[in-house]
Structure 1
Amino acid sequence: MTNETLTGLLESISRGTVKDFQHGKVVVPSAFVKEPIPGAVWLGVLGILGDEHAYKHHGGPDLAVCVYSKEYYPWWQEKVPAILPPAAAFGENFTVSGLLDDAVCLGDQFEVGGAIIKVTQPRLPCFKIARRHGVPLAAVWMQRESITGYLCSVVQEGYVQAGQVINLIEREATPTTVRNANRILYLDKDDKQGAKRLLEFQGLPADIRKKLLRRLEKD
């Protein structure tokens, strides 16, 4: 358990199936466009039941759930020409409130419904956000503003449902926020001390760990 108090709300749960996605003059397979799920759904170690991935590196235990904060939607709506959908506008599985990137930390474990999820890394935005919303610099802005959202593993499988409260139940002894982790990983690559702090997180995915170690080896 943790002495820290952090509570949010699961506003919506969404999943997608692989379909054709227009990227310029090219059509690529993607499950980026997701739809909200009514009622309870099973959340397993590989994610929400029925949520598909077109590419291997888009899924897996460390990337089981993509979480994005509803509080960021108004900021985006000022820049996106069309009206944003109320949920999954940025390809997220969980649209939440109360769990911003500057409050949530790597390694945080949250209880929601019958499941427990664990934050593993900031979300790395891709071109599909820009393409879907007609904003070419969307991915750049998302990282620059440190409003990326985050990816989670599933510590305990169980049923989840929109409207449930999300409670923090465990936090690392020396936590690093998602916002700060995004800065260290993608914006301030000369922050060697920050890289060392991130490497102290035992749950850091192997590919990110290797990236940080290569960065430190250049000293």
Structure 2
Amino acid sequence: MKIISTNIGTPTTFIWNGKEETTGIYKKPTGQPIYLTRNDVVGDEVSNRLNHGGFYKACYVFSAEQYPHWKAQYPDLDWSWGMLGENLTVEGFDERELFLGETYRLGEALVQVSQYREPCYKLGHKFGTPQMIKQFIQHGFGGTYLSILEEGHVNVNDEFQLVDRPKELLSVHDLFKLVFDKDRNPDHLKIAIQSQAIPRKKRVFLSQFV
């Protein structure tokens, strides 16, 4: 897996239900290194700290291989890397082969595969339709957040170098399905509930399905 674009969002305002809101989802390629901290990416807009940023959502990663699917669905949009709101666009990122709790050396940083993305109305607004949220969930490839265990710069062409892998494996793809599908794999639930790579409130949420 290799970074092919580092992306940063500046504050963008829009009207939602009659109120002005601010978002950082409109990310654009930087063409330079970005610095990953334990709570966010330096210079990246995080408008709602309750639901974005923080240790378990410090950096969002999305697969370059998923772009053709979305470009085909929305060909009239102005496409560039960062379109799905990711800080890092990654080549060779197969969510069926990336696992919750894995740690990787990435540039200067040490990162851990963390929790799933829950798409919100801001994604729908960016794509021009609330249907995008349903489509995103149904497609099943939602990217992943990273926790930053050691802070540092990352840049284009930096590769994910595996450092450690949990004994119990749950792929990013299966974690996403575990949250949004009605038929939940009990073995996958057990792994997710016991994983320290996702926050306690999310583990409590998943435990109701056991």
TM-score, scaled relative to structure 2: 0.91
Question: Match for residue 166 of structure 2?
Answer: 172
Following TM superposition, where does structure 1 have runs of at least 4 consecutive aligned residues deviating by more than 6 angstroms?
A: none
Aligned 1:107-186 pairs, distance under 5 A: 107-186=101-180
Is 1:48 the counterpart of 2:41 in the alignment? yes
Question: Match for residue 215 of structure 1?
Answer: 209
Question: Match for residue 104 of structure 1?
Answer: 98
Alpha-carbon distance in structure 2 between the residues aligned to 1:27 and 1:80: 25
Contact 1:101 1:146 (C-alpha < 8 Å) held by counterparts: no
Residue type of the alignment partner of 1:201: S
Contact 1:81 1:134 (C-alpha < 8 Å) held by counterparts: no
Alpha-carbon distance in structure 2 between the residues aligned to 1:24 and 1:79: 26
Aligned-residue sequence identity (percent) comes to: 25
Residue 38 of structure 1: how far off its partner (Å): 2.4
Residue type of the alignment partner of 2:124: A
Alpha-carbon distance in structure 2 between the residues aligned to 1:140 and 1:44: 31
Contact 2:28 2:83 (C-alpha < 8 Å) held by counterparts: no
Aligned pair partner of 1:14 in 7, 14, 34: 7
In structure 2, the residue corresponding to 1:212 is in which secondary structure? Answer: helix
Residue 199 of structure 1: how far off its partner (Å): 1.2
Residue type of the alignment partner of 1:68: F
Aligned pair partner of 1:58 in 32, 52, 55: 52
Aligned pair partner of 2:86 in 86, 89, 92: 92
Residue 70 of structure 1: how far off its partner (Å): 0.6
Cα shift readout 1:143-190 (whole Å, capped 9, x = no counterpart): 212110011100111111122222222111111001111111111355
In structure 1, the residue corresponding to 2:115 is in which secondary structure? Answer: strand
Where structure 2 has 5 or more consecutive residues not aligned to the other structure, the ranges are: none
Contact 1:185 1:195 (C-alpha < 8 Å) held by counterparts: no
Contact 1:146 1:182 (C-alpha < 8 Å) held by counterparts: yes
Where structure 1 has 5 or more consecutive residues not aligned to the other structure, the ranges are: 1-7
Residue type of the alignment partner of 2:140: S
Cα shift readout 1:122-156 (whole Å, capped 9, x = no counterpart): 21112222221224322212221211001110011
Cα RMSD over matched residues? 1.8
Residue 201 of structure 1: how far off its partner (Å): 1.5
TM-score, scaled relative to structure 1: 0.88
Aligned pair partner of 2:23 in 19, 30, 34: 30
Alpha-carbon distance in structure 2 between the residues aligned to 1:38 and 1:30: 21
Deviates further, 79-88 or 45-54: 79-88
Aligned residues: 209
Contact 1:82 1:133 (C-alpha < 8 Å) held by counterparts: no
Alpha-carbon distance in structure 1 between the residues aligned to 2:175 and 2:184: 13
Alpha-carbon distance in structure 2 between the residues aligned to 1:189 and 1:208: 18
Deviates further, 171-180 or 20-29: 20-29
